Structure 1
Amino acid sequence: MNDDDYFAEVAGVLAAGGVPAAQIEATVEDLRAHLAETGASPEEEFGPAARFAARLGGRAPEPDGPDEAAEHWTWTADLFNDRRMLAVHGAQGWEVESLDPLGRFVCRRTPGTALRWEYRREVVAGRRRARVEDELTPEGWELCGEWLVYGYFKRPAAATAGPAGALAAPPAAPRQWLFLSRRGKAALAVWVLLTGGATSAFFVGGLGAPGFALAVALFSSLLGVWTASLETAAGRERRAGAE
């Protein structure tokens, strides 16, 4: 990213946060003058543009900051549907703060300062984590939660959409909290049948407690491996398409 693109992104985030145009112009001029003295690139000196702009005065909500007016909402989706629902809810101004121990998305939204959010999911198991973070951090992506082998990343939509990333009138919080796809419902049904069979064997067929625990763990692990393999295959297809 060259200097002009970097400062255009900074200006877009600041504008989306309601910073006056004159103040944005003066800020960018000061930053350019500072870089002229140091000889550094903007990313080296300030970090990712969207995050830096939020610190300067963009109105992206700070996840750890107290805000009594903020709305809070927790929801979940299966691995076939989570990215689609993250896109839908991110467009409504919901920022994922974390994933809880059950794998639910813990979100918040601040009325009057809400921004649209972009999300992506990546496999971050093992050595892949460092490579993924190195690729995404310069583009303004921030890790906001993990589940199984997956990492979920977020960034304000203003990083790519500029002022259009601001949300003037967010809709009411959804009453629904569970969003399952057809494949997710099918996988859940299979898991229930298999674990139900293991439970019956435990009580009727003499399957001991260790065997029962092993069976449930095995079924769950197989389901996780299956979904991870689908994610890996999808990643290969995306890379092939990009080439």
Structure 2
Amino acid sequence: MTTDAYFAELSGSLRAAQVPDEQIAATVEDLRAHLAETGTAPEEEFGPAAAFAAQLGGLAPAPGEPDERAENWTWTADLFNDRRMLAVHGGQGWEVESLDAVGRFVCRRSPGSALRWEYRREVIAGRRRSRVLDELTPEGWELCGEWLVYGYFKRPCAATAGPAGTVGNPPATPQRWLFLSRRGKAVLAAWCVLVGGALAASFVGVLGTGGLAISIAVVSVFSAVYTSHLETAAGRARNRG
């Protein structure tokens, strides 16, 4: 079967499953781009078109239309643990839609069979932003949220892994919402000690109410900046390695 015939059959099967045309076009475009990179035949890479369409069909709602059946979950992690947890949860079919005002990952997952997602985090501060977007967008990465100097990108695994890019029986929604690493717990403990000290000082009259507020703000900003600095330095070290 030729590549065009394969994607014609795939498109027809997806259309029969009531997948919107714009979603079919985007899926086919991503899959064609993947085959162009790998140089493999579509049947070899994805399996029979009808079976592959059955795995992909109806997994996501049409663009701009909410899926009332979808599961929703919001969680967070520190900067030392976020990439690992994104890999874990992305493998369970959780798609990050955005980051909220306090840096939590707002996720959704289609019921039943769901797409697996892969994620990456990049520093996008200043002039790096346009360069990173120009490099990642052609590879299918989509910016799904920003926090501090970081941008979080997502991509469905089906575009690169074929049938293995879906999870047929996803686990239940986690009960936890906070995932801290050992380093993150240490930073949080130090923050609590410093804020507790400022609060105690206000009670004994060393600091007034205004001084307490300023102290907490300074400690909070310092904690965020210092944590970002540590992770950025670690990233540079990994890149050099």
Under a length normalisation based on structure 1, what TM-score does the superposition of the two structures give?
Answer: 0.73
Instruction: Establish whether residue 99 from structure 1 lines up as the match of residue 79 from structure 2.
Output: no
Aligned equivalents of 1:47 and 1:69: distance in 2?
22
Residues 154-165 of structure 1: pairs in structure 2 closer than 5 A = 154-165=154-165
Q: Which one-letter code corresponds to 2:149 in the other structure? A: V
Deviation at 1:169, TM superposition (A): 1.0
Deviation at 1:214, TM superposition (A): 2.4
Aligned equivalents of 1:47 and 1:23: distance in 2?
13
Residues 44-193 of structure 1: pairs in structure 2 closer than 5 A = 49-50=29-30, 61-62=60-61, 64-193=64-193
Name the stretch that deviates more: 159-168 or 219-228. Answer: 219-228
Deviation at 1:49, TM superposition (A): 4.4
Q: Between Structure 1 and Structure 2, how many residues are aligned?
A: 205
Q: Which runs of 5+ in 2 are unaligned?
A: 14-25, 34-55
SS at match of 2:114: coil
CA offset digits 1:47-79 (Å, max 9, x no partner): 9943999xxx86553574211110111111111
Percent sequence identity over aligned pairs? 67
Whether the 8 Å CA contact 1:47–1:138 is kept in 2: the answer is: no
Distance 1:49 1:21, change over 3 A: closer
Name the stretch that deviates more: 165-174 or 230-239. Answer: 230-239
Q: Which one-letter code corresponds to 2:30 in the other structure? A: A
Q: Which runs of 5+ in 1 are unaligned?
A: 1-6, 12-19, 28-45
Aligned equivalents of 1:196 and 1:64: distance in 2?
46
Match of residue 51 from structure 2: none
RMSD: 3.2
Match of residue 23 from structure 1: 9
Aligned equivalents of 2:10 and 2:227: distance in 1?
45
Deviation at 1:229, TM superposition (A): 2.0
Distance 1:197 1:108, change over 3 A: same
Q: Which one-letter code corresponds to 1:186 in the other structure? A: A
Match of residue 203 from structure 1: 203
Bigger RCO of structures 1 and 2 (CA < 8 A, at least 6 apart)? 1
Distance 1:140 1:195, change over 3 A: same
SS at match of 2:146: strand
CA offset digits 1:148-195 (Å, max 9, x no partner): 222111110122212210111111111111111111111111001101
SS at match of 1:72: strand
Under a length normalisation based on structure 2, what TM-score does the superposition of the two structures give?
Answer: 0.74
Q: Which one-letter code corresponds to 2:99 in the other structure? A: L
